[in-house]
Amino acid sequence: MAVLTPPAAGSLRRTPAPSLLLAIAAASAVPVLLAAMVGGIGATLAPGQPAQPAPPAPSATASPTPSWTGTPTPTATLSPSPTPTPSLGSAPEVTPTPATTVKPTSAPSVVPTPAPTAAPADYSRPGGIYLDILTAYRGYGDWYRSLLDTIYMLPADYSPGDLVDTSVASLNGGYVVRSFVVADLKAMADAARVNGTPIVVVSGFRSYAHQQSTFDYWVGVGGYEQALRTSARPGHSEHQLGTTLDFTSAGGKAPWEYADWAMTPAGGWMAANAWRYGFVMSYPAGSFATTGYDYEPWHYRYVGRNLAAAVRKSGLPLREYLWQTR
């Protein structure tokens, strides 16, 4: 059923870790702090990086994560701060610090991060890294290639002007998408209906402000750490593109209330066929390390039929695909 399978570890193209992370890696205390802040998902923050002597670190004190805008640091994680990790210079070969102690609560679907390779914590694997960097492609014409994750974001005022109600796609209304999505969205909805597995929309475009309240809602539901894994901070949501929708079964409950919506008739049909209409499941199961988010079988981003086919053929999650072609 899984349309997109997680990539083999190590298949990622490596880029030099940005100086920020190098600086972080340089200061031995900071990684621990950062790891704690991000919920102990240590894999991506594995210090390592022996090959590159720490550059003139912009003062170790500099707050490593400009993005942590006042959010309350989850307390639980700060506890007996585990593994201060191997000291930098000493390790010619980095021992992949087995992702520390703090376990991501619940979320049974999450594969506990693939064994950390000896790779540096760079931005090709965003899982557990939370920053606020404007994505490179952020024009309204870049909708198909705008890289959004827990690191890269859209400007707060990004709000497409061509939004139309989903009812024009023969779906339930009350949500909006960019106008050019409608033809394929309607074709997909019609096909699902013909198949006897009709779908409905439960979310479409969300503005920056809307995303703020959405994120806050999930913080209220499951706490900050869990919200980070399942919801995007404002600016980071693909819903802000106006090309992304969440679906569920017509007459069904909220998709996240199923153990796995993709195992339902409608969700299964979508998992197998949405790509034919230009939609990609952005967060397939087990791809936290490379997408930054837990499995979301209901969340589909429109990228056009050609790109959706290419992404499917690649076997990569969309975020990883876009990273490689950015």
Residues that bind Zn ion (CB under 5 A): 246, 299
Residue 122 or 246 having the CB closest to Zn ion: 246
Q: Three-state DSSP class for 302?
A: strand
Minimum distance between the CB of residue 301 and Zn ion, rounded to whole angstroms? 8
Residue nearest to Zn ion as judged by C-beta position: 299
Please give the structure tokens belonging to residue 208: 């920056």
Amino acid at 224: Y
Q: How many CB atoms lie within 10 A of CB 325?
A: 12
Q: How far apart are CA 5 and CA 3, in angstroms?
A: 6
> What are the start-end ranges of the E strands in the chain?
133-134, 152-153, 163-165, 176-178, 199-203, 244-249, 279-283, 296-302
Residue 215 or 224 having the CB closest to Zn ion: 215
Minimum distance between the CB of residue 299 and Zn ion, rounded to whole angstroms? 4
Amino acid at 318: L
Residue 184 or 238 having the CB closest to Zn ion: 238
Minimum distance between the CB of residue 175 and Zn ion, rounded to whole angstroms? 11
Minimum distance between the CB of residue 170 and Zn ion, rounded to whole angstroms? 21
Q: How far apart are CA 326 and CA 320, in angstroms?
A: 10
Minimum distance between the CB of residue 232 and Zn ion, rounded to whole angstroms? 8
Instruction: Residue 3: name the closest of 275, 235, 298 by CA.
Output: 275
Residue 4 or 46 having the CB closest to Zn ion: 4
Residue 30 or 153 having the CB closest to Zn ion: 153
Minimum distance between the CB of residue 5 and Zn ion, rounded to whole angstroms? 21
End-to-end Cα distance, the chain: 28
Going 67 to 218 to 189 to 166, the CA torsion angle's sign is negative
Residue 236 or 299 having the CB closest to Zn ion: 299
